[in-house]
Amino acid sequence: MRAAEFFSGIGLVRMALENERWQVVFANDNDEKKFAMYQGNFGGTDFRHCDIQDITSESVPKVDLATASFPCIDVSLAGNRAGLAGKHSSTFWEFARILKGMASKRPRWVLLENVLGLLTSNEGRDLREILRTLNSLGYACDIVVVDARFFVPQSRPRLFIIGKPPIPNSNNGLLRTHLARPKAVVDFILKNPGLDWSISNLSPLNIKRETLSQLLERFPDSSSIWWGNDRKKHLYSQMNELHREKLQTIVRSQSDSFATVYKRIREGKCRAELRTDGIAGCLRTPRGGSSKQFVIQAGRGRWRVRNMTAREYARLQGAPEFTIDVPENMALLGFGDAVCVPAVQWVIRNCISSNGQIGLRNGKNSKAQALSDVASIRS
């Protein structure tokens, strides 16, 4: 099966698709640096390096699936919440324009990925707009939330919207909460029976992964990667009591363990915050240096700290073998914006390749069907 990958970044959606035996025949992104990383891993022959505005429907080959991991800045809780009208997230409309123009060669499936903030952006109006648009293009939709932590030691919940061919005979009773379909998503579906839904029958989501300690690289004491005393002291000064106590707990332990650290602005102050639960915080794009992730190794009365490496970022995104032949900061930026490969594979397997699904269809009789589905789910 063939796919077109929009907002392809460094190509981790492509990696997931290829792992699931799909062939990616078209990719587009406007970021030159990410293109360099993409090219280093997948070549560049299928890649259109330009603004999505400059892509015509005619120039996209016939494919079975189109993916769009579109920018999150305007829908993210940490962003400006301008939503789909914002400068970045409004690029969804360009994707929709291309799909619309593809007419008879429109792909059978679409897969959108974004942050959880999309669920509540403009009180749900943005998500509804997206779903309504996909419905108008002939897709019945499903929404799942998959956290990377099931596959890798990284907290990274992401919202996936799947557009599928509508199914004629809807079944009911399968829409229930699941680790990948939390109550907020079920509630959203139930509150919108007028949309065309095609709910996938999801397999259980179990934690199957390496530990953070297994995944982290090891460096000798003499390595220049470890921070000097002044920088270390400064980091300590940015920890509040709670985080100093977390640090002391692992320092007192009889064996070495690891914590990850992020700096965040809290009430106008830069704060260093530790995670000692064996899961890295969500990787971000380290623009301005403030959101790089650090690694503390502690135990037997001592601790030391270093920057997390690009190879560790790659492993935390489920792409351990990714060729990294660009400067470290550029790689961190690429991986910080990317998707977690096995999380995307899980969505492809459960929502696209699999057949188990129920439909809540809009339209003449189907609206009544949808309402009766909703009633049966509530009872």
DSSP state of 139: -
CB nearer to ligand SAM: pick between 166 and 334:
334
Burial class of residue 376 in the structure, from the number of CB atoms within 10 Å of its CB (0-12 exposed, 13-18 middle, 19+ buried): exposed
Bridge partners of residue 315, in order along the sequence? none
Q: Rounded distance, CA 29 to CA 16, Å?
A: 17
Q: Rounded distance, CA 266 to CA 284, Å?
A: 17
Binding of ligand SAM by 68 (CB under 6 A): no
Among 13, 60, 195, 374, binds ligand SAM (CB under 6 A): 13
Question: 195, 132 in Cβ contact below 8 A?
Answer: yes
Backbone φ and ψ of 312, nearest 5°: -70, -40
Kindly write out the interface string for residues 46-65 of this chain, putting x where it contacts ligand SAM by CB under 6 A and - elsewhere. Answer: -----xx-------------
Backbone φ and ψ of 28, nearest 5°: -145, 135
Question: Angle at CA 256, nearest 5°, toward 254 and 260?
Answer: 135
CB nearer to ligand SAM: pick between 52 and 370:
52
Among 18, 19, 25, 31, binds ligand SAM (CB under 6 A): 31
Binding of ligand SAM by 159 (CB under 6 A): no
CB nearer to ligand SAM: pick between 69 and 293:
69
Q: Which of 141, 54, 60, 69 is nearest to 107 (CA)?
A: 60
CB nearer to ligand SAM: pick between 74 and 196:
74
CB of residue 122 vs ligand SAM: minimum separation in angstroms? Answer: 19
Among 308, 338, 343, 358, binds ligand SAM (CB under 6 A): 338
Q: Rounded distance, CA 297 to CA 159, Å?
A: 32
CB of residue 72 vs ligand SAM: minimum separation in angstroms? Answer: 6
Binding of ligand SAM by 12 (CB under 6 A): yes
Binding of ligand SAM by 29 (CB under 6 A): yes
CB nearer to ligand SAM: pick between 12 and 84:
12
Tokens of 107: 């792909």
Query: How far are the Cα atoms of 61, 112, 198 from residue 64, in angstroms, in the given order?
Result: 10, 14, 17
CB nearer to ligand SAM: pick between 24 and 205:
24
Stretch that binds ligand SAM, among 7-15, 124-132, 230-238, 256-264 (CB under 6 A): 7-15
Q: DSSP readout, 220-273?
A: -TT-TTBPPHHHHHHHHHT--HHHHHHHHHHHHSSS-EEEEEEEEEETTEEEEE
Binding of ligand SAM by 146 (CB under 6 A): no
Among 4, 9, 47, 293, binds ligand SAM (CB under 6 A): 9
Binding of ligand SAM by 193 (CB under 6 A): no
Active site residue 72: yes
DSSP state of 281: P
The residue annotated as part of the active site, out of 50, 72, 282, 351, is 72
Name the closest residue to ligand SAM (Cβ).
9
Residues numbered 72 to 111 that lie near ligand SAM (CB under 6 A) are: 72, 91
The residues that are catalytic are 72
Chain residues binding ligand SAM by CB under 6 A are 7-10, 12-13, 28-31, 34, 51-52, 69, 71-72, 91, 337-339
